[in-house]
Amino acid sequence: MTWLVWRQHRNQAYFAAAALVAFAVLVLITGLQMASQYHSALTACTVSHSCGNLANTLTLGTPLLSLLVTLTVVVPCLLGLFWGAPLVAREFETGTSQFAWMQSISRGRWLTAKVGWALLAAAAWGGAVSALVTWWSSPANALNQQNFQPGQFDIQGIVPVGYAVFAVALGIAAGTILRRTLPALAVTLGVFVFLRLVIGQDLRSHYLTAVTVIYRFGHAWRHPTGSYWLIAQGLIGPGGHALNTPASFSGAAVNGVPIAEIPATCRALAFQPNLKLTSCLASRGYHGFISYQPASRYWAFQGIETGIFVLLAAALIAVTAIVVLRRDA
């Protein structure tokens, strides 16, 4: 059966391998450049004692390159569309399932071989792309400490493996239930994007309870270090109520709180130097707060998110197996 799976899909495998090699070459060349750029900048700033400001002065790579690497976020989805959805659906569509199922092997063995190799290939391919991206991003991770942020979190580490396995399982299940490739593609795309967004935006920040620190202005407090993930920040008024902190606000703000929300007496001091605004707020009993996921939880979050997608994939494969074993060819 392995022979048949390979014979059927070897062209896809060759194409995928070629694309991976091309990507690897690009990543290796630019990655080495960026690493040496970062290290020479680090050496230079150590001499001039200006390393604290390095993240603001040094830009690694080019925007185009960063965009290309960020675009690897769609790789799992593409695997689901091109490997997952047609895997069983094409066989139903062309009737070859009737041919394969009349050989002297059980449907279970047929499905196991096909699904097993597809998932393995997805994990390997997703893992390889992610490994390259993770390595490529390591200078930027050290410099900007943004690898816990949504966007970077999704293309590094082990989560891309979970996404890839899930996407392919989703494609297989959709193709098996719908028996047609095109509708299966549409369902795979829709469900995958929906779940990724819902889990990434609404669920991920709650995997572990965020650490919240409330601090008084003008006093020393434990500021999070490293690549922590900022969940929320803002101001707490003297009555203990938090000031309105809009999700996205691009104007002038203090701790994310728009200037307009600040008491009028302090507002006038907003653009004056020497932190006059902060002292004004502090003297009126305002506190700052920050809610975040510490950098130390990065791998725990990677593990939890990967686990969620792998479990979803397992459920989809179980459904696929039931449908294939029970339904007519």
Task: Pick the binder of other proteins from 8, 66, 134, 145 (CB under 8 A).
Answer: 8
**CA-to-CA distance for 182 and 256, rounded, in angstroms?**
45
- Chain positions 79 to 118 lying near other proteins, rule: CB under 8 A, are 94-99, 101-106
Nearer Cβ to other proteins, position 40 or 98?
A: 98
241 touches other proteins (CB under 8 A): no
Coil/strand/helix, residue 229: strand
**CA-to-CA distance for 6 and 24, rounded, in angstroms?**
24
Nearer Cβ to other proteins, position 202 or 328?
A: 328
**CA-to-CA distance for 222 and 288, rounded, in angstroms?**
12
Instruction: Give the total of residues touching other proteins (CB under 8 A).
Output: 20
Nearer Cβ to other proteins, position 108 or 151?
A: 108
Nearer Cβ to other proteins, position 95 or 246?
A: 95
Kindly give the interhelix angle for 2-48 and 107-144, rounded to the nearest 10 degrees.
10
The minimum distance between CB 246 and other proteins, in angstroms, equals 52
Q: Interface with other proteins by CB under 8 A: which range of 5-13, 19-27, 257-265, 286-294?
A: 5-13
Contact indicator for 165, 123 with CB cutoff of 8 Å: yes
**CA-to-CA distance for 267 and 260, rounded, in angstroms?**
7
Contact indicator for 248, 304 with CB cutoff of 8 Å: no
1 touches other proteins (CB under 8 A): yes
Nearer Cβ to other proteins, position 105 or 198?
A: 105
Burial of 234 (0-12, 13-18, 19+ CB in 10 A): buried
Pull the structure tokens for residue 33: 């450049």
4 touches other proteins (CB under 8 A): yes
Binding flags for other proteins, 9-28, as an x/- string (CB under 8 A)? --x-----------------
Instruction: Give the footprint of other proteins on this chain (CB under 8 A).
Output: 1, 3-4, 7-8, 11, 94-99, 101-106, 328-329
